[in-house]
Structure 1
């Protein structure tokens, strides 16, 4: 029985699809162009079009589609695109699931630790409520649309993902050229906590949630060892055998250069624990940042 994946061409989607196929699972990618074979099916969220036949009888759905958060400065127009690509896309997908005679058993929908807002240095888990800010509001609306799948009897989980460590892209991929030039530096105070997860653990955690019927609702996809931004900077520099800058990049300079993205995504702290994964006996491949970076790089 197939696993349907949206956003399958992205960093996480492509890695997950590869792992599913390695387990002998059939993967069907939802694409916005003409499908190129049995492993693809058409959808166009903007036009509220989706191939229902591809979803009928599927075993599960992993929904990862959404415009990139950190690829450009946030204009008001791009913020609307960030919302529409997640909230409206999820609405179209869930509306389709609710029409099926044989809906999938499980929906794993992407979200982020930004749901919690800036939590300072407090240790938090999935019991923590919603925070404040654009990204917190976005995650809440995103999850709210996915939640409606429960009305069709679909077990629904939200992957509240931290900073994913992969040399192939994402936040770490954007940092690597800077750090390799010896220009890596703490951001702002450097005291804000960053919750991270290796791409290997993200994929293994996703497979764990798909298979484990007792796991649903919000699930923190983060390692059990969040670190401060300053510690992240030192550890990444050490992993690359490069020095890092002694002085931090001031918060005002980040805000001037990157605008609201810096204030929402780089300077707030999220000291998040993966309580649900741990309670369901998930075993992390990488529990320390140094080991994770060594494996990734």
Structure 2
């Protein structure tokens, strides 16, 4: 397949592009800088610029573009960037797809979303049919997913990847935690009762490949592991994985001072289950957290 990818230089995109290329697919990367070869196409989603010829004939489009929610302390400007970087890229792709002749449209758009859609679910487990919750990330997810509508209305299969927290030592949830855990100065966040929707990186990659191929699957898909845990359980498992104690809890007030607005999301309980993937017969290589952490750290 010829796969057009946005966000190919990010934490998830880099690994997915490598995996798809290794599988024999041709990955064409959308970039904002000058191109460096035939497998790159320049675009500017902030001004909705994308050459339709670059999209025409692609078998699939994968959009993972978006500023990292945990990369910087949240202020008004960064909140705006989190939202615009997702909505602008999705809108540009969806509108461009819809404007193409039917024969030139891709068969599928896999568009990133997030489990933040559900807001704070407390101890209540939710699947893909649950409504959007409240909070900043839930609001972002609503407009982000709605931006795919032009492609969907044009008859293209659209999959909204409500991704949880992929586990890998080089980024995402694990990278900033590894040093304090290895030093034995880490612990649960706040009460520790909030649910953590994790997924092994290997399983995230496999799930995306699975969804590329499954023409019968569309709409929202929770890309998470089948057995979510609380933050307290996650803390214990990560401490065991690095062979260090984790007995210093981080109070909620300390998180708010350190992280600003992002602290509220870090303390949110999101007990998300992968209903669509489970019913479709997807098999997780690492369904348990201990195995996923071992794979992530080796």
Which bin holds the TM-score, normalised by the shorter protein? over 0.9
Counterpart secondary structure, 1:159 = strand
Cα deviation, residue 193, structure 1: 0.4
Counterpart secondary structure, 1:244 = coil
User: 1:261 matched to which residue of 2?
Assistant: 262
Counterpart secondary structure, 1:243 = coil
* Separation of aligned partners in 2, 1:232 and 1:244: 11
Matches within 5 A, 1:1-80: 1-80=1-80
* Separation of aligned partners in 1, 2:240 and 2:3: 39
* Separation of aligned partners in 1, 2:263 and 2:150: 32
User: 2:296 matched to which residue of 1?
Assistant: 296
Q: TM-score if structure 1 supplies the norm length?
A: 0.97
Tell me the alpha carbon deviations over residues 109-128 of structure 1, each in whole angstroms, 9 at most, x when there is no partner.
11111100000011111111
Q: TM-score if structure 2 supplies the norm length?
A: 0.97
Matches within 5 A, 1:79-90: 79-90=79-90
* Separation of aligned partners in 1, 2:292 and 2:162: 19
* Separation of aligned partners in 2, 1:279 and 1:106: 20
Cα deviation, residue 148, structure 1: 2.4
* Separation of aligned partners in 1, 2:154 and 2:279: 27
Counterpart secondary structure, 2:73 = coil
* Separation of aligned partners in 2, 1:293 and 1:249: 21
CA root-mean-square deviation:
1.0
Deviation >2 Å, runs of 4+: none
* Separation of aligned partners in 1, 2:274 and 2:108: 20
User: 2:98 matched to which residue of 1?
Assistant: 98
2:186 maps to which of 184, 187, 212? 184
User: 2:158 matched to which residue of 1?
Assistant: 156
Counterpart secondary structure, 2:67 = coil
Cα deviation, residue 47, structure 1: 2.2
* Separation of aligned partners in 1, 2:11 and 2:168: 8
Counterpart secondary structure, 2:43 = strand
* Separation of aligned partners in 1, 2:240 and 2:231: 14
Tell me the alpha carbon deviations over residues 32-88 of structure 1, each in whole angstroms, 9 at most, x when there is no partner.
011111111111111221122221010100100001100111110111111110112
Number of residue pairs matched by the alignment: 295
User: 2:219 matched to which residue of 1?
Assistant: 217
Cα deviation, residue 215, structure 1: 1.1
Cα deviation, residue 197, structure 1: 0.5
- Contact 2:235-2:246 within 8 A present in 1 as well: yes
Counterpart secondary structure, 1:49 = coil
* Range with bigger deviation, 231-240 or 42-51: 42-51
- Where structure 2 has 5 or more consecutive residues not aligned to the other structure, the ranges are none
* Range with bigger deviation, 221-230 or 32-41: 32-41
* Separation of aligned partners in 2, 1:111 and 1:147: 14
